[in-house]
Amino acid sequence: MENQTIIVTGISNREFLERHMQPGRIGLCGGTTAVDKAICRAQRHLDAEKRHSNWSHAFFFQGARADGHHWVIESDLQIHRKHIRLGVQENRVAKYFNEKLYPTIAVLDFGLTGAQTAALIREGLELVAAHERYSLRELIGTLIALRRPELRSRENLLARERSVYCSAFVQRLFRNAGIELAPGVADKNTTPEDISRTPVPHTTHVLQREAAPGKLAGLHAKLRRRVAAHIQKIKRRHDGS
């Protein structure tokens, strides 16, 4: 398998995921919350042109279960009324059908064997059972390492026992199975952008939506209208003379 990116347009998150999710694949998304935007911005240090990353979260597809739903394993913050879950957990993939919360989404297919996929699922479920926590502290340590590249290969400066955030969880899962998604990067310094750029042969399916006109496009349109109006004014003056 050679690395390739396939752009998909014109469908919903649900249609996209139902078409491409399979056990053993990795999901990436870019959220719209302030935390998601901050994570995307922080990863600009990984880009030569300092562009913000598209990705703020990573998760692992477990597959369909007896309830008829597809499930993911991930390390995340889940807040439902008075119930809060922080750490490695199982969730229905339906949470990512929400296009307002997750406008950017991708699926990475590594062409894994059945045995490799089963091993990854077992490892993920072990971390669920162990109640590995989501670590905001380690996330801050990763942000420090992004500014100081020499720290990326070392243990996270703010590492804690039995704690892991989203992309660190995915990196650890695959590394324990003998697959190096981000060679030279410590588990707990791994970002979603690192996973998106993995050198491991894979196919990336990306759901791409038409971007809304930005402020720059609006300024250009306004400028064009002003120029056109000014030209018309000059013509009227010329015709009047």
Q: Sorting pLDDT into bands at 50, 70 and 90, what band is 29?
A: very high
- Is residue 183 within 8 Å of residue 199, measured between CB atoms? yes
Supply the pTM of this predicted model.
0.84
Question: Taking all residues of the chain, what is their mean pLDDT, rounded to a whole number?
Answer: 88
Domain 4-210 has CATH 3.40.50.300: no
Helix axes 166-176, 114-129, angle to 10 degrees: 130
pLDDT over 70 at 238, yes or no: no
Delimit the domains of the chain by residue range.
Answer: 4-210, 214-241
42: CB partners within 8 A, 6+ apart? 143, 146
Q: Sorting pLDDT into bands at 50, 70 and 90, what band is 213?
A: very low
Read off the pLDDT of residues 113-137 as tens digits, 9 standing for 90 and up.
Answer: 999 999 999 999 999 999 999 988 9
pLDDT over 50 at 215, yes or no: no
